[in-house]
Structures are given as structure tokens and as C-alpha cells.
Chains A and B, each alone.
Chain A
Amino acid sequence: MSIAAERIERLFALAKEATANGEFDRSREYVRLARRIAERNRCGLPRAFKRFTCPRCAVALRPGVNARVRLQDGHVAISCDCGAIKRYPYD
């Protein structure tokens, strides 16, 4: 595992923790830094990172804190408090 991928893992964990503590701007800072590292190193983002960060406001999503998870026809929809919806298909 490269340093870049490992940094992304650490930042995602920190972002989730920040969200749980109510520090949403801190969480956004970590998620944006992780996305920037991924694009600079061309290493992609983990699937959990893509699914549990907001595509619009970049906050790490914690169901029960700032996100709602709904099961719909053919896909899961996770909506952020900001209103953006991230959808992913059933496997």
C-alpha cells in the first residue's frame, strides 16, 4: 500500500471522527485533502470513501449524525444534511 493510499485511509478515519464530534468543517478539510492526494497520485479512492462522503459539500457522512440512508428500487440513496444525494447500486 503506497503512502498516498494510506494517507487517504487515515484522513477518512479522521474525517469520520470529526463528523462524529460535530466538527463538520474539519471533516470537509480532511476529505478535500484526501481527494486532492488521490488525484495527484492517480490512486483512486476507496469505495467506502466514495460512498460515505458528500459529493457536494465534501463532509464525511455518518448515518444518524448528518446522513440518512434509504433503500430504494435498485439502489441505496444516502442523503447529506446539505441535500445532496449519493446513490449506489445493490451489489
Chain B
Amino acid sequence: MPLTPETLTRHELIGVPIRVADAPNPDLVGLSGRVVSETMQTFVVATDSGEKRVPKAGTTFEMALDVSTADQTAGDTDEAAAAGVADATAGSQAPRAAGSPFELGEDTAGVRPRQSWPSGCSANPFAGGCEGGVYVTVDGHTLCARPAARTERTGDSKWR
């Protein structure tokens, strides 16, 4: 189960490039960087101006999956569609997340005009590799769990 938009909320988020799209605290909006640590209620994000602790609850995050992962995503979409887990999507389109996360980005046509990721934050560590990446927008409430337990909330096993 590689890191795809479907599995993102159950997968390891440490090391993932992240951006705060919306937050109750206006100072946090637009913050971007890599996740370096996670607790039940917060992320620690390494930005250019130091490490910032961001609460998960009430915050909307944009996460970037890199190109190699995006390639795997296409393959996995087919598998998932065959298994009846996710909606069948066209090969060029990024899959729709099965759970609560939804996404804005597409993986083929580059960055959408209404997404201001590369221009909005020069601090983005993946500014060069943005094109071809997949962006996933996640509601922070779905991530509120102990880091070690977040994987288990919905299992991979089908027989149950």
C-alpha cells in the first residue's frame, strides 16, 4: 500500500511536504515545509524560519506527493477500482480519495491556475518538482489520532 491520496491519512506523514491552506489562526495560513514530527493533536513543520507547531484540529492541510508516488498512484487506482474500493477514474486523472480527504491537484497538467502553491510560497522545498506532483487537501480533524494508531482506523484487510 504505497502512499496515495487514498492511503495518505493512514500513512506516515513525517517527511511529507505540507502547506497550511486554512487555519483558525491566521498566522499559520500559508506556512509550508516538511513535517518533522507528529503528535496526537499537532504537527511540527520545518519551515525556512524554524520549526513551527501546527494544531491539526480545524486546520486544512495541502500535502504534496512526489512524482514517483504519482506514478504509483495511477497503477494503484486501477487496482483499487478493480477491488471496488474507489471510483474508477480515467488513467490521466488523479483518483478521488475514498475517505474524507479530497484533492484539488491533478498530476498531469501541472499546477492548476487557482492553486497558488508555487507562487504563493517561495519557501516550498519542492518548488522545482511541483509539476507532476499530486496535491491532496486534507481536513485536519481526520488526522487527529496517535501517530502509531493512525494506520489502524480502517484496515487494509478485505475479509472483515
Contact = CB atoms under 8 A, between A and B. Distances in A.
Interface stretch (A34-42, A47-55, A56-64, A78-86): A34-42
Interface in A1-57: 1-4, 6-7, 10-11, 14, 26, 29-30, 33, 36-37, 40-41
Interface in B1-38: 1-3, 7, 10-12, 14-15, 36-37
Tell me the dominant secondary structure on chain B's binding face: loop
Interface residues of B, number: 17
B42 interface: no
B15 A37 contact: no
28 contacts: A2-B1, A2-B156, A3-B7, A3-B10, A3-B151, A4-B151, A6-B2, A6-B3, A6-B11, A6-B12, A7-B12, A7-B151, A10-B14, A10-B15, A11-B12, A14-B15, A26-B36, A26-B37, A30-B14, A33-B14, A33-B147, A33-B148, A37-B148, A37-B151, A40-B148, A40-B149, A40-B151, A41-B151
Interface in B139-160: 147-149, 151-152, 156
A11 B136 CA distance: 21
A34 B106 CA distance: 31
In this complex, which of A3, A6, A26, A40 has the most chain B Cβ atoms within 10 angstroms of its Cβ? Answer: A3
A36 B12 CA distance: 13
A3 B156 contact: yes
In this complex, which of A4, A7, A10, A30 has the most chain B Cβ atoms within 10 angstroms of its Cβ? Answer: A7
Contact of B37 (A1, A4, A6, A29): A29
A1 B14 contact: no
B50 to A, nearest CB: 14
B135 to A, nearest CB: 19
Contacts of B151: 3-4, 7, 37, 40-41
In this complex, which of A1, A4, A41 has the most chain B Cβ atoms within 10 angstroms of its Cβ? Answer: A4
